[in-house]
Amino acid sequence: MPDYNKLSKEKLRAELKRVDEAYDRFKQMGLKLDMSRGKPGTDQLSVSNGLLDAITSRDWDDDNNHSLRYLNYGLLTGIDECKEIFADLLQVPQKNIIVCGNSSLNMMFDYITQCMLTGSDGTPWSHQGEIKFICPSPGYDRHFAICEYYGIQMIPVDMTDTGPDMDAVEAIIRDPQVKGMFCVPKYSNPTGVTYSHETVDRIAAMEPAAKDFRIIWDNAYIVHDLTSKGDRLDNIFDALHRYGHDDMVIEFTSTSKISFPGAGVAALAASDRNIEIIKSRMKYQTIGYDKLNQYRHVKFYKNVEGLKNFMRLHRNILQPKFKIVLYEFEEELRDCNIAQWTHPRGGYFISLDVMRGTAKRVCQLCKEAGVTLTPAGATYPYGYDPADQNLRIAPSYPPVDELLSATKLLCLCVRKAALEKLLEE
């Protein structure tokens, strides 16, 4: 395949004709595929099949089991056995863990809500005029949506190979209206980057002008390796402690992509002071979260090692799916020299940069041929990608055969949009 940038108009037109024909053949196939969200596929769900049998009515007659104990009210911050697993996972003391319901996003939303109404540790954010958040971009659309809902102004900062552009971050935090920052520090959504030792250290060392500045450390992909080795991410609380900044970060994680999305368990880790502040809200908010489901997870995984073993099964399912997509990108896009993409070592996404100004068009073309992608721009604050070039590709949901068709179509659309663009110029 030729380098599109070096083709004459005539050759571009000939190539577009070939691509158009192939695209039309795809359209006639009547595909209906979804690569839009980081959903586990059915094959992955069956990995956690046994979770459904972890607690049964037979437990009633077993004196050594605790199911019965967890069927009533109370235990606001979660059951100890479940806290222990998350404490081992996040490498923090058990007293610094709170386990809640099924959604870490919900916990983040509730935390930001609390900061808005009663403050992170001081004046409510909603009483401080227009406040701002640092949003490494491309990033997670659901984080950005929370800011948008509360009218928190988002300041995009570029993602580099080692994490957010820290020079930019360090400049922005001099503004006392900047109250926080969203981070997905491991296998970042969507770029797959794991923050380097230096990045974590610089983040921990930050001295924001706002004393009530808080980092949402969304460690969603903490054990979601796609390679046997896996990336190493520094423990943020160890780093914070070196600088006496223990209160600056709230860490979140969940089993949404370990057990079941929507029926898993979510948790947070925070300093003693932040745990106290968060509990001071929770005790008004609820009598307790679903402890039975927490205990179900404990009985199924036993401990953090058990949980990690299950991640190997997920890896065996996910690895080939990522390889299919990356292989097709290599085959269908490399030579044309019109796109770049990431080679993630973990997480749920491939970040694909198509030719500038064509991401929206690629999405539209895919949609018309029956493949749903995350909308172009979604990975940027306000859904606005200034270069209109980033696409978040989620290979996990479709079965292998469908994924191959979808990726072939996607590559064709990337080429078609690039050719159209080049012919416009």
Rounded to whole angstroms, the Cα distance separating 362 from 413 reads: 5
Of 230 and 398, CB closest to its own copies: 398
Rounded to whole angstroms, how far apart are CA atoms 139 and 156? 9
Strands 97-99 and 132-137: unpaired
> Taking CB under 8 A as the criterion, which residues in 191-250 touch its own copies?
none
Q: Which among 9, 28, 54 is positioned nearest to 307, based on CA atoms?
A: 54
Task: Specify the stretch interacting with its own copies by CB under 8 A; choose among 140-148, 206-214, 372-380, 406-414.
Answer: 140-148
Residue 82 contacts by C-beta under 8 Å, 6 or more apart in sequence? 99, 265, 267, 294, 295, 297, 298
- Residues 58-117 interacting with its own copies (rule: CB under 8 A): 59-60, 67-68, 70-74, 101-103, 105-106, 109-110, 113, 116-117
Closest approach of its own copies to the CB of residue 137, in Å: 19
* Least gap, CB of 309 to its own copies (angstroms): 18
Least distance CB 419 / its own copies (angstroms): 35
> In terms of Cα–Cα distance, which of 305, 297, 352, 303 is closest to 330?
352
How many binding residues for its own copies (CB under 8 A)? 54
Q: Cα torsion for 220, 381, 131, 235, to the nearest 10°?
A: 20
55 binds its own copies (CB under 8 A): yes
Shorter beta-carbon distance to its own copies: residue 138 or 288: 288
Binding residues for its own copies restricted to 244-283, rule: CB under 8 A: 260-263, 281
**Shortest CA distance to 272 belongs to which of 303, 243, 235, 241?**
241
- 410/404 Cα distance (integer angstroms): 10
Site string for its own copies, 325-344 (x = CB under 8 A): --------------------
- Least separation in angstroms between residue 41's CB and its own copies is 9
Q: Is 37 in the site for its own copies (CB under 8 A)?
A: yes
Residue from the set 4, 26, 33, 39 that interacts with its own copies by CB under 8 A: 39
Cα 147 to Cα 107, 155, 165, 174: the distances in Å are 14, 11, 20, 20
At 109, which helix (H) or strand (E)? helix 104-118
Least separation in angstroms between CB 264 and its own copies: 9
Tokens encoding 131: 């406040």
Residues that bind its own copies (CB under 8 A): 37, 39-40, 42, 45-46, 49-50, 52-53, 55-57, 59-60, 67-68, 70-74, 101-103, 105-106, 109-110, 113, 116-117, 126, 142, 145-146, 148-150, 260-263, 281, 284-293
